[in-house]
Structures are given as C-alpha cells and as structure tokens.
Amino acid sequence: MSKLWTKNFTIITLGTIISMLGNSVSGFAISFLVLDMTGSTFLYSLFLVVYFLPEILAPIVAGPLLDHFSRRKTIYILDFISSGIYLLVFFLLRADYFSYPVLLILTLIVGSIDGVYSVAYDSLYPNLVSPGNFSKAYSISSMIYPLASFMVPVASIVIDQFGATPLFLFNAVTFFIAACFETRIDYEEAYTKTSKKLTFGIEKFKSDFKDGIRYIAGEKGLLTITVYFCITMFAGSAFQTLLLPYFKNNADMFAGSIFSSVTIYTFVAGCGVIGRLVGGAVHYWFKYPVDVYHRAVRLCDHFRS
C-alpha cells in the first residue's frame, strides 16, 4: 500500500482543518449575532434558508462548469474571497454599520461560495489520495468537522467576554492561511488542457447536467447514498435550527449555573459530535474485509428475490 500522507494530501488536510476551525467559530458567532440582533426564531430560520438555498442551487451550476476549469485554483481563490468577506464583517461590526439586511446579503454570497467550493473540493479530494488509502483518508476527513466543533465552547466564552466581533477576524485569518496552503498543491489537472478547446454554453451545461443525473440514477449504490443523506440532512437541519434559539430564549432556566445558556448549548452540541469522532477513528484504524461487503450484497439480493 502506498503512503497516505503525501505532500498534496497533507496540504489539503491541513488547509481544511484550519479553515474548519474558523468556520465553526464564525458559524456559531453569526447564529448568535442573528438571534441577539433580532430576538426572533423566524428571522434566524430565514437567515439559515438564505445561506442554504444557494448551497443547493450553486452546485447544480458549478458541477458542469468545474468540469472545464481548475478545481485547485477554484478552491484557493474562493478561500481568499471568504477571508476578505469575513474581514469586511469584522470592520462593519467594529463601525456599528452592521444590520440584518446586510447580513442576509453577505450570507447569500457566502452560501454561494460554499456551494461552489464544496463541488470543487469533493471532486479534487479523491485525486489527492494515494491508491489503497481511501478508507483512511475519508475517515480523517469525517473527523475534521467534529474536532473543529470543539472550538465552539471557546467561541461562546469569547462572546461572553468580548462579543462576537473578534471571532470574524479570527475566521478571516484562518481562511487566508488555508488558502496560502492550498496554493502549494501541485496536482496536475489534465482535463483543463483540453477544456480550453471546448465551447461551453447553455446547451453544453444542459447536456453535462443531464449526464450527471443519469449517472446517479444508473448507480444504485450512489443513488441510495444520495437519498439517505438528503433525508438525514433535512431532519438534522430542522433539529439544529431549533436548538440554539431554545437555549438562547430560555436563559432563565440556567440562571443558577456558572455558565451562560449559550455556553451550555455549546457543551450539549459538542456531545453530539463525539460519536462521529469515534466512528471516524474506527474507520481509520480498522479496515473492513472486502468479503464482508460481498456477503452483505448477496444477502440483500437473496431477500429481494
């Protein structure tokens, strides 16, 4: 088996860890800021919709486009742009120019960036993993977000002491550092050399998009996983939307505690990521035998017949 921690894999992993640390902090800071600014669960939910809507639509457009452009360059350019946006938020908050409409506009931009970024990252990442190491690589990837989530309790303490403003500066710095790391990836994307000869228009986009849909529909395993994640993410998003407002709006329940209700929320949410850490560690250290998979497939075929 070839080495997992190659130069490119190490760079993409370090860059992801650094940017996710900032994202966990700023995501919590923005959520707290919206609730503190509006005092409304509905406006908080609207803010989440404005963020996630372009995350749904942007990949539909970005997928076919990124088949003809460098995903490596897309990743670090978007991280540099994100760094600039969070720096702008920091200065707006310092100058007291921040408002809910401004927040929605910036959220729409950030959601669009994240939607495009996820397509570029998810399609580039497998190419940076050496053969035979995909299980370990993805177990590491699955543990990054839970690990980064442990920064949220720290963020809540910072908010209690200094407010949310410094956290956006922290996120701007982390995105800038991550982008600098990602510029050092030297993977050669051979398809970009031929893409310059292609005429890319609406018809080509429609064709590529339909090919993608047909491919997912034709692969039963991929289709099942897509449907599964769609259902779980719908359910999980509804739960997460209500969790922070519950703790924020019921602060009197924790009046006798040494921690604020928001800090207690971060501890509760932090408990939810421990399972992902354990699962990721299991996948990293233990490799499931291939014959177990084949036996499971045969058993499913037996029951279907």
pLDDT tens, residue by residue, 34-52: 888 888 888 888 888 888 8
Whole-angstrom distance, CA of residue 295 vs CA of residue 285: 22
Dihedral angle sign, alpha carbons of residues 25, 31, 32, 36: positive
Per-residue pLDDT at 21 exceeds 60? yes
3-state helix, strand, coil in the chain (%, to 5): 80, 0, 20
Whole-angstrom distance, CA of residue 53 vs CA of residue 60: 12
3-state secondary structure 113-158: HHHHHHHHHHHHHHHHCCCCCHHHHHHHHHHHHHHHHCHHHHHHHH
pLDDT at 277: 67
pLDDT tens, residue by residue, 224-237: 888 887 888 777 77
CATH 1.20.1250.20 fits 7-304, yes or no: yes
Cβ atoms within 10 Å of 242's Cβ, excluding its own: 11
Whole-angstrom distance, CA of residue 30 vs CA of residue 47: 10
Per-residue pLDDT at 183 exceeds 80? yes
Output the pTM of the full model.
0.72
pLDDT at 198: 47
Whole-angstrom distance, CA of residue 173 vs CA of residue 82: 10
Per-residue pLDDT at 278 exceeds 80? no
pLDDT tens, residue by residue, 140-176: 887 777 677 777 777 777 887 888 889 999 999 999 9
| DSSP class of 112 | H
Per-residue pLDDT at 58 exceeds 50? yes
- Chain centroid, CA 50 distance in Å: 16
Tell me the residue type at 201. G
Cβ atoms within 10 Å of 156's Cβ, excluding its own: 24
Whole-angstrom distance, CA of residue 244 vs CA of residue 27: 12
Going from N- to C-terminal start, the domains of the chain cover 7-304
Per-residue pLDDT at 254 exceeds 90? no
